Structure 1
Amino acid sequence: MSEQEAAIRIGEALGRLRRERGLSQAEAGARIGMTSQGWSLYEAGRRAGLFRPDMQKRLTAALDATPEDLMLLAETPPSPAPGPASAPATDGAGVQSKGRDFEPAPSRTIRRERYRLDTDDMGPWAFAGTIIEYEKDRQPKQGGGAVLQLRDGRLHLGLWQGSDDRGVVVANTGGTQTPFSWRDILAVSAVTARIEPE
């Protein structure tokens, strides 16, 4: 994916977040001292600042969201817009059959949990006191935050490196990789937010 395609995808995700909150571009922009025109340029993916973490934090804060929410949404394709009912199809014998309407997939319940870090092992990504929010049973993305719930009751935070039939590998911010066997893991979850201590 090119940088321009990535910018467009992030901008579209920003627009989806704004619409989910029921805000106009002018209302969202006003929350952070920006004009509706300035906000629309971010949603169109036409501002280079869209990739800057501080700008993502500023934009998402206007929507009561986090940069992690934005990036997760950017990776999820938008639902297709409802279109007109499908026209009857015909087969070779001239017999008509009705188009089939599909029920949307049932929405899944999002199970988010939080815990507070008590070490600086993941600095500068997250320090002691940072609250980690994670979505249970959501597959982490490559290099993204992952929480492993271990059978011994511990939680392990790391950066997702991948998995195979034997287990998973996570790394700390220094790049040291740690493998875990599937037999030692109860659940794998994706980090959806880091809430910095005040």
Structure 2
Amino acid sequence: MARFDPKAAEELARLAAALADLRRRQGLSQAEAGAAVGMTSQAWGLYEAGRRPGLFRPDVQARLTGALDLTPEDLRLALARVGGEPDRAPATGGVEAQGRTFTAAAPPTLRRLQLDDDRLAPWAVSGVVIEYAPGRWPRRDQGCVVETADGRLMVRLYDGADADVVRLRGGAGLTEVETLRRADLRGVHAVVARIDP
């Protein structure tokens, strides 16, 4: 079996740490992330531990980030966050392929909000700070921040939407679906992380 040179091993470790960072920010366990792509939590853990060199392959990156409802570009942004950004000027026009690496556009603007109720329980309860991405639409059963036309912010679980309405639910034990007219909303934004104290 061929051995990695130290530089490749270091690059793999940074890429693995970025994958772990993305998973945690999405609020998923290794088992949940692995199940989304048909692998065990142990198999997913090998990628996060840097013990699978396949993590360099674009198809593997697409598969793993897809399980997190993200893209390989998000992995590149996470790589920059965990200290793996190569020494070069930042890109100004998007993402440009350069072999195995990507030069990323500016990271998305994230906002924080402290919860004042338990509507995202058991994932997050009153007093916990969440991070949300303005402009990123949530997937079903994902937490979201709803901005109403009058400027109020509500935190709910996204249930679905059609052309006229958005359907939301509370957290565990709260099964009633709340329907809001799209005309009464400024935006629906996906919750992407829980900031633990």
Give the aligned partner of residue 171 of structure 1. 169
Q: TM-score, normalised by structure 1?
A: 0.51
CA distance in 2: counterparts of 1:104 and 1:138, whole angstroms: 18
- CA deviation after TM superposition for structure 1 residue 160, in Å: 0.9
RMSD in angstroms over aligned alpha carbons? 4.0
Given that 2:137 and 2:190 are in contact with CA atoms closer than 8 Å, whether structure 1 keeps it comes out as yes
Going from structure 1 to structure 2, the CA distance change for 1:121 and 1:45 (only over 3 Å counts) comes to closer
CA distance in 2: counterparts of 1:182 and 1:151, whole angstroms: 9
1:74 matched to 2:72? The reply is no
CA deviations over 1:14-59 (Å, ceiling 9, x no partner): x999418689xxxx9xxxxxxxxxxxxx8x98643578xxx8xxx6
CA distance in 1: counterparts of 2:164 and 2:40, whole angstroms: 43
Secondary structure of 2:125's aligned partner: coil
Give the aligned partner of residue 94 of structure 1. none
With 144-153 and 117-126 compared, the bigger mean Cα shift is at 117-126
Match of 1:19 among 15, 19, 24: 15
Unmatched 5+ stretches in structure 1:
1-14, 29-41, 61-69, 80-102
Going from structure 1 to structure 2, the CA distance change for 1:17 and 1:185 (only over 3 Å counts) comes to farther
Give the aligned partner of residue 48 of structure 1. 41
Whichever residue aligns with residue 78 of structure 1, its letter is P
Match of 2:147 among 146, 149, 152: 149
Going from structure 1 to structure 2, the CA distance change for 1:21 and 1:46 (only over 3 Å counts) comes to closer
Q: TM-score, normalised by structure 2?
A: 0.51
CA distance in 2: counterparts of 1:162 and 1:184, whole angstroms: 16
CA distance in 1: counterparts of 2:151 and 2:13, whole angstroms: 35
CA deviations over 1:101-132 (Å, ceiling 9, x no partner): xx957836512101101122332232111101
Give the aligned partner of residue 126 of structure 2. 128
Going from structure 1 to structure 2, the CA distance change for 1:148 and 1:71 (only over 3 Å counts) comes to farther
Unmatched 5+ stretches in structure 2:
1-10, 22-33, 50-63, 74-93, 97-103
Going from structure 1 to structure 2, the CA distance change for 1:183 and 1:175 (only over 3 Å counts) comes to same
CA distance in 2: counterparts of 1:140 and 1:16, whole angstroms: 30
CA distance in 2: counterparts of 1:195 and 1:104, whole angstroms: 28
- CA deviation after TM superposition for structure 1 residue 190, in Å: 0.4
CA distance in 2: counterparts of 1:162 and 1:17, whole angstroms: 38
> What percentage of aligned pairs have identical amino acids?
28
**Bigger-Rg structure (1/2):** 1
Going from structure 1 to structure 2, the CA distance change for 1:171 and 1:107 (only over 3 Å counts) comes to same
CA deviations over 1:68-125 (Å, ceiling 9, x no partner): xx9777323436xxxxxxxxxxxxxxxxxxxxxxx95783651210110112233223
